[in-house]
Chain A
Amino acid sequence: MRNLFAIAKREVQSYLVSPVAYLVIAAFLLVSGLYFWLTLGWMVQYREVPTMRYTIEFMIVIFVFAAPLLTMRLLAQERRMGTLELVLTSPVQDWELVMGKFCAGLALYLMMVIPTLLFPLTLEVFGNPDWGPVLSGYLGLLLFGAVLLSVGLFASALTQNQIVAAVLGVAGNLLLWFFVGAPAYNPGISPRVAHILRMLDLRAHLQTFVSGALDTRDIVYCLSVTVFFLFITTRILEARRWRA
């Protein structure tokens, strides 16, 4: 555990000296702030109850693309610099490295998301939002963030090129977000397969969170996809030990 913490801490420090992290955070806050402002207009126009629903959905869509930008360097860069060899010849377990990197990514994600809490606070000041869906929406944001980051981390383990890692990560996230579930709506597909595909579809699990109807199935889904990707990332690192 101490190794995990040391690796996460070092990684966060490295994030904070590189401009990429600030750029991603700034761009994310700018775009989601603008979008929130737009939704305010709709809410006023259609006399809706003030809600965070649209903004949270939008932030997750943005993060489908932004998460790989945060994770691209995590393992690819270590591989390129050769520091991976140094870390893995220290008494550090492969999973400690993977979890340390993941926690660093998650910490950065929180730095992106926490400032957006100003949006619901703004709603509270000027209106009367329903806090249940807001909180469950933010829980969804956290869990979806974990899924998208774990896919990005997996992509970063596959290559030593950060750009390739980012592209692979976006592709993986889009696949999970959109394309896995898409064939389920093809009328020719058997209902059983369609059911499985719909369960795998990341997007389909978002509705309960943003509507405030928390469902353990969706929570379990997010956690297990995250664990799955972290697990195969660890196996990728270990794979050098099999290529004997």
Chain B
Amino acid sequence: MIQVEGLTKRYGDVTAIENLNFHVARGEIVGFLGPNGAGKTTTMRVLTGYLPPTEGSAHIAGYDIFSESLQARRRIGYMPETVPLYPEMTVRGYLHFMAEIRGVRDRRTAVAEAMALCHVEDRAGDIIATLSKGYRQRVGLAQALLHKPDVLILDEPTLGLDPRQIIEVRELIRELGQERTVLLSSHILPEVSQVCTRVLIIHKGHIVAEDTPEGLTARLQGATRLVVQVARPSPKVEAALSTVPGVEGVEPAGDGRYEIASAPDADVRTAVAETVVQGGWGLLELRPVGMSLEEIFLQLTREESPIEEIAEQEVEADA
């Protein structure tokens, strides 16, 4: 449904996104995850035909977003991050207008259905300016559903909602994702891991990881890590620990802590504990470090080297 190949967008000298490649199949809900300014909104604007790509191409339902823009746009429901609404219109009036410019034939039914789906029918006659943030957000979502598009592109769909509304919107997206293709952006991790079937992590205009939420977690936990803290650190500790069978690396982490990397299958915990006790260094703590999606995200999007490391791991994993 969505095919993106070598997509690059530059604003003058600033490169917003560079060489993005991804495909989204029908019925997938793909989360576009990244810190603010990573290029999520730019990507969505290019996909919806609002901005042209500098290089590369993108197809929506088989139509090129640049050369067959109108055809592609007919198949997209888009909710921009700012949720643009005409504040002086009523909810119903606004949806009617949007249905009209989207070329919907039976507007009355389409508006009624979209309002019911997004639970805004109780405020149908109200002026948009008087609505709360949550209602506006849902009106914005209703607007994207009017023409029953194949592809839904939602930029930060739960931004500014209260927890109950967030749950409702997520459920709605999950429902919609059964028949449609959904690409949503977010910088909130639990949201993505709960709603999406696949996650693309974007950082500084590059896709740094792409997998299912579970797969991503599993892949980054591949090499098991332990943290040991001792009461009386000494250079000997490091040397002794490196000799433990199965240990692949030891790094002092300060404050008497050592980070131990071990082979994926080896459980070195007992051996490490015994070594510390025998050395008389005083074992204070020994724990495995699993990475939550948060940590993975932070690691992937940190400023320094980890990006390259993980990118290398990615290449290896793909090969």
Q: Which residues of chain A have a CB within 8 Å of any CB of chain B? A: 2-3, 6-7, 10, 13-14, 17-18, 81-93, 240-244
B26 at the interface (CB under 8 A from A): no
In the complex, besides A6-B100, A91-B101, 7 extra interface pairs with C-beta distance below 8 angstroms are A83-B86, A85-B45, A86-B80, A86-B98, A89-B48, A90-B102, A244-B54
Given contacts A13-B93, A244-B10, contact A90 B84 (CB under 8 A): no
Interface of A is mostly: helix
Q: How far is the CA of A97 from the CA of B98 in the complex (A)?
A: 13
B83: chain A residues at CB < 8 Å are 82
Contact A14 B49 (CB under 8 A): no
From B9, B49, B82, B89, contact of A89 by CB (8 A): B49
Q: How far is the CB of B44 from chain A (nearest CB, A)?
A: 9
B49: chain A residues at CB < 8 Å are 88-89
* Residue of A with least CB distance to B48: A89
- Interface pairs A-B: 8 shortest CB-CB: A82-B84, A6-B100, A83-B84, A82-B82, A89-B48, A86-B84, A91-B73, A241-B52
Q: What residue of chain B has the Cβ atom nearest to residue A78's Cβ?
A: B84
Which residues of chain B have C-beta atoms less than 8 A from A85's C-beta?
Answer: 45, 50, 80, 82, 84
How many A-B contacts are there with CB distance less than 8 Å? 73
- B312 at interface (Cβ–Cβ under 8 A)? no
Shortest CB–CB separation between residue B72 and chain A, in angstroms? 9
Residues of A within 8 A of B271 (CB): none
Which residues from B are CB-within-8-Å of A90? 73, 98, 101-102
Interface residues on chain B, size class: 20 to 34
Roughly how many angstroms separate A88 CA and B72 CA in the complex, as a whole number? Answer: 12
B74 & A14 in contact (Cβ 8 Å cutoff): no
Q: Does B32 contact A (CB under 8 A)?
A: no
In the complex, what distance in Å separates the CA atom of A93 from the CA atom of B69?
10
A-B contact pairs, 11 of them (CB 8 A): A10-B97, A14-B86, A17-B88, A18-B88, A82-B83, A84-B84, A85-B45, A85-B80, A90-B102, A242-B52, A244-B53
Q: Flag whether B200 is at the interface (Cβ < 8 A).
A: no
CB proximity of B164 to chain A, nearest CB, Å: 26
Q: Which of B87-105 contact A (CB under 8 A)?
A: 87-89, 93, 97-98, 100-103
- Interface residue B70 (Cβ < 8 Å from any Cβ of A): yes
Contact with A along B123-147 (1 / 0, CB 8 A): 0000000000000000000010000
CB proximity of B78 to chain A, nearest CB, Å? 5
CB within 8 Å for A92 and B101 given contacts A85-B50, A85-B84, A86-B143? yes
CB of A91 within 8 A of CB of B86, answer no
Q: How long is the Cα–Cα vector from A13 to B100 in the complex, in angstroms?
A: 15
A90 to chain B, nearest CB (A): 5
Check B70–A86 contact: CB distance below 8 A.
no
Q: Does B120 contact A (CB under 8 A)?
A: no
Q: Which residues of B contact A18 (CB under 8 A)?
A: 88
